[in-house]
Amino acid sequence: MSNARIALVDVNNFYVSCERVFDPRLEGRPVVVLSNNDGCVVARSAEAKVLGIATGAPWFQIQGQAKAWGLVARSSNYELYGDLSARVMEVVGRFGTWQEVYSIDESFIGLMGDPAQLQAAGRDIRAAVMRHVGVPVCVGVASTKTLAKFANRIAKQNAGLDGVCALESMPGDHVAGIQARVPASGLWGVGERTSSRLKLMGIESIADLKAADPALIRKKFSVVLQRTVLELNGTQCIPHVEERVDKQQIMFSRSFSQPVTTVEGMEEVMAVYAQRGAARLNEEGMRASAMTVTAGTSRFAAGEGSFPAVTVRFDRPTSDPITFVRAAVAAIRHHAVAGASYLRAGVLFSGLEPASGTEVLDIFSTEASQADVGGVLGNVRNKFGSAAIGLGIGGFAQAPQWSMKREHSSPRYTTEWKELPVVRA
DNA sequence: TCTGGGGTCCTAGGACCC
DNA sequence: TCTGGGGTCCTAGGACCC
């Protein structure tokens, strides 16, 4: 049997750890990072978890106790997290025979060796990331991705392991004991819906699922859950994606700091959102053949609410912001309900293809004369900031009433010259 | 008063074709 | 009474993830 193994390396409480790199006063204190609009908790330090704060907890419900608890809240600062993420990935990648970046704070890498060597490699990775970036990571190593995720979880939950768990270095009956105790819902790929259906079949623990008949699981559920069963038994079924192929969707979606209740107001929102989405599409170098425009009232309000979702298809793929803005404004004009209290909106581009190369010029199209409007807008924004230029009613000089709230933000320490940290010696 | 944002993959079912 | 059957492509929606 080959000694090739898979490690899952992820950063503990990633967003909180990023905040702590540049503000060591947060060390040892309960810290949470909030979603856009400071709406709810998206990351918690260990100390905040001890206080019983849940992921997704609305900030307005916690805010009152924050002072008594000594709790620090930070608005999310994705520029900072994205930059530190790239640095973590680069350091971790040095240790692997291959690397798959799975999310902003985790990657799978290939490792070779016997259990003792794997355990040692895990410790080296931890030390290197701490030294070069300053954030703590945990490492789980096993023969499949599903088991590596499981090992990572063991590493996190057992302080004695010092953040590293090579599954095969643990006694087999010990592992089996944990799998018999931990519910199947604790596994990667098994969510709430699936686990409640599994329970009806008498499958409750990870051990139960591991012992289940893969063919039956496929029949009753899907090939996805069948792969989980096989991976629990040591058969690799989930392939590595070393280099992410081009994205299939690009989205721009935000909630507002205050409701928008008029159709004209929603047209204004969509003019801005379509441009923000178009800018993203442009950054990725893609064209879209369809755009879905969505809006929604509160999910928590009584009554039906209004959740329009309109897909607009284009004759041929385009990246032209003027086309997007026109289409988005028209779509929302026809589907928004006057008087409804909208709290969020978004645009989703799909049917993507690379914008380079085979651009077909259609002389009958209005686009031919508009040249590369998206590119021009992008260049201006890069030089002068995102508020510097905009189309039509999206060209505000000042942020409109409904724009996002970020009251507890940290500086963009690593991506903005003006916000570099100052060190005094 | 106030509850995130951005993705992936799979499946079922409809449209269409021969 | 009774109205083919199989293949492909596309899309909407479900479930899950971080």
Q: Are A135 and A21 in contact (CB under 8 A)?
A: yes
Q: How far is CA A85 from CA A41, A133, A283, A284, A410, in A?
A: 20, 9, 19, 19, 17
pLDDT value of residue A325: 96
Question: In the predicted model, is pLDDT for residue A359 greater than 60?
Answer: no
CA-based nearest residue to A87, from A117, A129, A126: A129
Question: Is any atom of nucleic acid chain C found less than 7 Å from the CB of residue A194?
Answer: yes
Burial zone of A302 (CB within 10 Å; 0-12 exposed, 13-18 middle, 19+ buried)? exposed
Burial zone of A106 (CB within 10 Å; 0-12 exposed, 13-18 middle, 19+ buried)? buried
Q: What is the mean pLDDT of residues A72-91?
A: 96
Dig out the tokens for A346 from the structure: 């978004």
Report the C-alpha gap between A52 and A41 in whole angstroms: 12
Question: Is any atom of nucleic acid chain C found less than 7 Å from the CB of residue A188?
Answer: yes
Q: What is the mean pLDDT of residues A308-335?
A: 94
| Angle of CA points A26, A28, A34, to nearest 5° | 50
CA-based nearest residue to A122, from A133, A104, A137: A137
Q: How far is CA A14 from CA A17, A42, A46, A261, in A?
A: 5, 10, 11, 37
- Residue, of A241 and A259, whose pLDDT is higher: A259
Q: What is the mean pLDDT of residues A212-226?
A: 96
DSSP string, A147-167: HHHHHHHHHHH-GGGTTEEEG
| Bases on strand B under 7 Å from any protein CB | 1-11
Q: What is the mean pLDDT of residues A224-253?
A: 92
Question: Is any atom of nucleic acid chain C found less than 7 Å from the CB of residue A191?
Answer: yes
A365 band by pLDDT with thresholds 50, 70 and 90: very low
Could you tell me the distance in Å between the CA of residue A248 and the C1' of nucleotide B8? Answer: 9
Q: What is the mean pLDDT of residues A131-155?
A: 98
Question: Is any atom of nucleic acid chain C found less than 7 Å from the CB of residue A40?
Answer: no
Q: Are A106 and A98 in contact (CB under 8 A)?
A: no
Report the C-alpha gap between A26 and A45 in whole angstroms: 10
Beta bridge partners of A309: A294
Q: How many CB atoms lie within 10 A of CB A135?
A: 21
Average pLDDT, chain A: 91
Kindly report, residue by residue over A106-125, the tens digit of the pLDDT. 999 999 999 999 999 999 99
Q: How far is CA A16 from CA A34, A48, A362, in A?
A: 10, 10, 50
Question: Is any atom of nucleic acid chain C found less than 7 Å from the CB of residue A307?
Answer: no
Kindly report, residue by residue over A332-343, the tens digit of the pLDDT. 999 999 999 999
Q: Which nucleotide is nearest to A224 (CA to C1')?
A: B10
Report the C-alpha gap between A43 and A36 in whole angstroms: 12
pLDDT value of residue A384: 58
pLDDT value of residue A276: 95
Could you tell me the distance in Å between the CA of residue A125 and the C1' of nucleotide B12? Answer: 45
Q: Could you give all domains of chain A from N- to C-terminal order, each with its CATH number? A: 1-166 (3.30.70.270), 171-243 (1.10.150.20), 249-395 (3.30.1490.100)
Q: Are A231 and A330 in contact (CB under 8 A)?
A: no
Question: In a 3-state reduction of DSSP, which class is residue A293?
Answer: strand
- What is the DSSP code (8-state) at residue A374? H
pLDDT value of residue A369: 44
Could you tell me the distance in Å between the CA of residue A218 and the C1' of nucleotide C5? Answer: 26
Could you tell me the distance in Å between the CA of residue A95 and the C1' of nucleotide C17? Answer: 25
> A41-44 and A249-260 as β-strands: parallel, antiparallel, unpaired?
unpaired
Amino acid at A8: L
Question: In the predicted model, is pLDDT for residue A383 greater than 80?
Answer: no
Question: CA end-to-end span of chain A, whole Å?
Answer: 55
CA-based nearest residue to A227, from A213, A216, A212, A238: A238
pTM, two decimals, is: 0.91
Report the C-alpha gap between A22 and A423 in whole angstroms: 11
Backbone φ, ψ for residue A342 (5° rounding): -75, 135
Q: Give the lowest-confidence range in A145-154, A188-197, A242-251.
A: A242-251
The whole-angstrom distance between residue A147's C-alpha and the CA centroid of its chain comes to: 22
A413 band by pLDDT with thresholds 50, 70 and 90: confident
Question: In the predicted model, is pLDDT for residue A242 greater than 80?
Answer: no
Q: Are A289 and A313 in contact (CB under 8 A)?
A: yes
Residue whose pair of structure tokens reads 């508020």 in the numeric block: A387
Burial zone of A358 (CB within 10 Å; 0-12 exposed, 13-18 middle, 19+ buried)? exposed
